[in-house]
Structure 1
Amino acid sequence: MEGILVPILISLGAFLMVFGLRYLENKERMAMIERGMDPGTRKKNTNPAGALKWGLLFIGVGTGLLLALILTQYVFVNMDEEAMPAVYFGLIFIGGGFGLITSYNRTKKEIQSEKQTEQQSVY
């Protein structure tokens, strides 16, 4: 009984989530029309720096996992099994942190170069 109940509940939950999101989006559009706003002119702000941040974060996490696997297989061979998760979690967070720092530095450089080109175009 429980084996069939889980897929049914997951499917039902996914359907209700999609239905709820569409319902709320329609309510928002109708409220905009009532206030005299054009719902078609609403644009979603996309931030390319956000994609860079998430991409570098996941690259850092993946690199941390790979490094943890290599270290636990070849370097920490005699380590007891209870300490292995600490190595994995530590390297995941270190790799993710390096990815976020890299993202911050790249975004900061882009902002500085945009300011320099803007100042040069003014003069």
Structure 2
Amino acid sequence: MNPLIIPLIAIIGGSIMIIFLRYFQNVERMSMIEKGLNPFDNQSVRRSRISPDNTLRSGLLLVGAGLGLLIGALIEPYLHSDSDGIQVALIMIFGGAGLLLSYSIQMKNDKKAQ
């Protein structure tokens, strides 16, 4: 198999993805203009604020994924296996556990706020 085919497919796929993202962004802006909204006001509000909920979710997801990778690297020599399947599985398990933990923390915070 030609070794140039994978980078070529990646470049073409990335270019097509960027074109479609820009196209759908334009369609979204046009529909907002038709409804009488200013599309630039909404974007500036969305981009300027960093939500603590998103930061908590991202942080716990990355901590969980890192913990899964660490545990996978520690137990892999004892499994006598050359596959990375156990590490991928542990990353998914601990990443999911991090997301569940962030959800429960957010629900507690929402109840306290009410």
If the length of structure 1 is used for normalisation, what is the TM-score? 0.63
Match of 2:10 in 1: 10
In the aligned structure 2, how far is the partner of 1:91 from the partner of 1:42?
Answer: 39
**Residues 53-92 of structure 1 correspond to what in structure 2 (within 5 A)?**
53-73=57-77, 76=78, 79-81=79-81, 85-86=85-86, 88=87, 91-92=90-91
Match of 2:110 in 1: 111
Runs of 4+ that moved beyond 6 A: none
Unpaired runs of at least 5, structure 2: none
In the aligned structure 1, how far is the partner of 2:76 from the partner of 2:13?
Answer: 40
Instruction: Work out which of the two has the higher radius of gyration on C-alpha atoms and give 1 or 2.
Output: 1
Bigger mean CA offset, 26-35 vs 46-55: 46-55
Shift in alpha-carbon separation, 1:90–1:42, aligned structure 2, 3 A:
closer
| Residue-pair matches, total | 110
**1:81 is paired with a residue of what secondary structure?**
coil
**2:58 is paired with a residue of what secondary structure?**
helix
Deviations 1:47-70 (A, max 9, x none): 532332232122112112212322
In the aligned structure 1, how far is the partner of 2:32 from the partner of 2:84?
Answer: 55
| Identical columns (%) | 33
Shift in alpha-carbon separation, 1:34–1:56, aligned structure 2, 3 A:
same
Unpaired runs of at least 5, structure 1: 116-123
**2:36 is paired with a residue of what secondary structure?**
coil
The alpha carbon displacement at 1:85 in A equals 4.3
